[in-house]
């Protein structure tokens, strides 16, 4: 007699290492360009994240571990004490509101520009990002990055480890190494951006080496139970061309599995695809799955709830949602009771400074208060 699968709900508690999560919904890391020009988080970011503290886990937006890794203007960073102090305000606010946070560490690699960072971007190989990139003076043609030397590879790995230690000092429960979406770690994995002939290129074993060394260094710095890794198999964001997706990820996950990490975060996961089930089988630890939703285009009316439930049913442990969270600070409650979601008023406002389109979206409680104050004849 076989045991039937255990049905799980997005709204039931879960365990992530030493963290007790009140639900299985994770707020995915999303860049919102509200840091200062020096990468230091601003007070408004504390308000934003505290508003969303009912998520089971918040993975804070990508933060660069060194200056050359900066992607776009006003992106947060975590390589000096100003950054630590800024992030500590954020984690304190979230903790007071009952939340839990990891910080995503992201080096842009070729996704960067001298007008933004003041430095020439570096990458596995001198292969430019296709098209243009946003800079302080608007969109400009991407530049050809400089190929990283062996010494720069070693120093970058050390920068990731140092950034992880700073994140813990800033009050985060852990960090997520961003190995997805066409940024530096992903560039090493992919044939289209990694033309190296040394130990960090060539066959799969060489191309996964940088990712493994980064993760191991970070795990050694703060403990593997505080480290997650984000992957995006087959995703072509930022002009990435993996070339052999079906070979990269079994090798990478097989090597990561022995480290004892907190979780693997699988972006754009699809339970209808064989690869999802292969990864679930290979990864015996906690799997956070981010559903494949229409992009570009509007979100489903339920914000991804149904897609998330399918992923839980297919074996995911936690479900991360992205676009629904910025416009819905109380997203967990809205999904739980089936309330309508706030629409995003203007997508452009997500990426500019200030409260508008960032911290001014109403919660259900605010809507109820307004409703109770309105004369009965004015209620729709």
Give 231's strand partners: 266
pLDDT at residue number 352: 82
> What topology is assigned to 14-378 in CATH?
TIM Barrel (3.20.20)
Strand ranges inside the chain, DSSP E: 14-16, 19-21, 25-27, 57-63, 101-105, 122-123, 132-135, 138-141, 146-147, 174-178, 227-231, 263-269, 287-291, 318-321
pLDDT of amino acid 367: 53
Closest CA to 291 of 352, 335, 245, 260: 335
Give me the residues paired with residue 194 across strands.
Answer: none
Closest alpha carbon to 109 in 216, 252, 207, 238: 238
Give the whole-angstrom CA distance, residue 276 versus residue 72: 31
- Give catalytic status of residue 183 as yes or no: yes
Residue 199 sits at the vertex; the CA angle it makes with 244 and 257, to the nearest 5 degrees, is: 60
pLDDT in 10s for each residue of the chain, 380 residues: 334 445 689 999 999 999 999 999 999 999 999 999 999 999 999 999 999 999 999 999 999 999 999 999 999 999 999 999 999 999 999 999 999 999 999 999 999 999 999 999 999 999 999 999 999 999 999 999 999 999 999 999 999 999 999 999 999 999 999 999 999 999 999 999 999 999 999 999 999 999 999 999 999 999 999 999 999 999 999 999 999 999 999 999 999 999 999 999 999 999 999 999 999 999 999 999 999 987 777 889 999 999 999 999 999 999 999 999 999 999 999 999 999 999 988 776 778 888 999 999 999 985 554 444 444 443 33
Q: Is the dihedral of CA 75, 78, 82, 86 positive or negative?
A: positive
Backbone angles phi, psi at 345, to 5 degrees: -70, -40
Catalytic residue (one of 48, 79, 183, 200): 183
Taking the alpha carbons of 163, 169, 175, 181 in that order, is the dihedral positive or negative?
A: negative
Sequence-ordered list of residues with C-beta below 8 angstroms from that of 347, at least 6 positions apart, any chain: none
Residue 358 three-state SS: coil
């Amino acid at each position: 007699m076989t045991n039937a699968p255990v049905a799980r709900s997005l709204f039931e508690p879960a365990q992530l290492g030493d963290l007790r999560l009140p639900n299985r919904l994770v707020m995915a890391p999303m860049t919102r360009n509200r840091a200062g020009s020096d990468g230091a988080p601003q007070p408004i970011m504390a308000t934003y994240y505290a508003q969303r503290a009912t998520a089971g886990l918040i993975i804070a937006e990508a933060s660069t571990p060194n200056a050359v890794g900066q992607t776009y203007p006003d992106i947060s960073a975590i390589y000096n004490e100003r950054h630590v102090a800024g992030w500590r305000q954020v984690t304190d606010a979230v903790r007071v509101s009952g939340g839990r946070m990891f910080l995503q560490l992201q080096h842009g690699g070729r996704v960067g520009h001298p007008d933004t960072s003041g430095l020439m971007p570096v990458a596995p190989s001198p292969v430019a990002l296709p098209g243009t990139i946003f800079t302080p003076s608007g969109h400009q043609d991407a530049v050809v990055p400089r190929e990283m030397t062996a010494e720069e590879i070693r120093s970058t790995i050390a920068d990731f480890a140092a950034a992880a230690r700073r994140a813990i000092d800033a009050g985060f429960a852990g960090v997520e190494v961003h190995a997805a979406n066409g940024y530096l770690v992903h560039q090493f994995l992919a044939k289209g951006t990694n033309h190296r002939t040394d130990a960090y290129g060539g066959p799969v074993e060489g191309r996964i080496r940088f990712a493994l060394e980064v993760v191991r260094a970070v795990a050694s710095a703060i403990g593997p139970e505080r480290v997650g890794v984000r992957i995006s198999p087959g995703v072509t964001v930022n002009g990435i061309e993996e070339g052999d997706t079906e070979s990269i990820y079994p090798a990478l996950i097989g090597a990561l599995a022995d480290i004892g990490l907190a979780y693997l975060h699988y972006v754009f996961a699809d339970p209808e695809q064989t690869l999802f089930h292969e990864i679930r089988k290979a990864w015996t630890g906690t799997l956070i799955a981010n559903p494949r939703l229409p992009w570009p285009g509007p979100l489903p009316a339920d914000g991804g709830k149904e897609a998330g439930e399918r992923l839980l049913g297919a074996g995911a442990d936690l479900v991360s949602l992205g676009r629904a969270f910025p416009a819905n600070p109380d997203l967990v409650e809205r999904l739980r009771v089936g309330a309508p979601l706030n629409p995003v008023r203007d997508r452009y406002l997500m990426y500019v400074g200030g409260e508008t389109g960032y911290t001014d979206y109403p919660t259900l409680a605010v809507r109820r208060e307004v409703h109770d104050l309105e004369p009965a004849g004015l209620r729709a």
